[in-house]
Amino acid sequence: MDVVVFDLETTGLSPERDGIVEIGALRVVDGRIDESQRFETLVRPTTATGETMLIPWHAQRVHGISNDMVSRAPTIAEVLPEFLDFVGASGVVAHNIGFDGGFMRANAARLGLSWRPAAEHCTVQLSRRAFPKERAHNLTVLAERLGLSFAPGGRHRSFGDVQVTAQAYVRLLDLLGQAAVTPAASR
């Protein structure tokens, strides 16, 4: 099974009003993480009309990405076609696919592109199936539960989160069995 595990950092929680500031992704091929197949970029967030959007302080506090860091970064209009090519015909995985997939769908639609991965898998949902008696399923808790750790400074940066999400996905596949993993949505 070939999937792309991805994570976004954003200016806020609304796909319609907020922008993407970072995309990170790794490919998993036949249950193995392929670190050589990675996608990682900062993104200068823009409004629907293409004007630069500032990153609010509360978002900067979460992910540590500042306006200075993205001032010379490519915009989502420049980055998204490349990312869609990277995903290709693969399914995708994210920790809370509704959030990340929602931002991808909204941004693709604004640009006249289509976000239609072969399948969408959610590690939050897989965690709930693997650990039904547990209440918390955020990425930090799931990582601890599976004995995984973030690289220093990696939490809430897209590539650091992607590395742990990919490892969690592979472990959850082992726990649940490949056949038990059904997509959150098929397109």
Joined together, the tokens standing for residue 89 give: 């015909």
Tokens of 35: 């670190």
Kindly give, in sequence order, each residue whose CB lies less than 8 Å from that of residue 114, ignoring residues fewer than 6 positions away.
Answer: 108
**Those residues with Cβ within 8 angstroms of residue 152's Cβ, 6 or more apart along the chain or in another chain:** none
C-alpha–C-alpha distance, residues 4 and 18, integer Å: 23
**3-state secondary structure at position 92:** strand
Indicate the pairing of strand 119-122 with strand 32-42: unpaired
* Residue 172 main-chain phi, psi, to 5 deg: -65, -35
Nearest partner of 8 among 165, 149, 136, judged by Cα: 165
Which residue in this structure is represented by tokens 């399923």? 137
Q: Which residue is catalytic, options 63, 95, 121, 156?
A: 156
Tell me how far apart the alpha carbons of residues 95 and 187 are, in angstroms, rounded to a whole number: 19
- 39 forms beta bridges with 25
Whether residue 121 lies in the annotated active site: no
Active site residues: 156
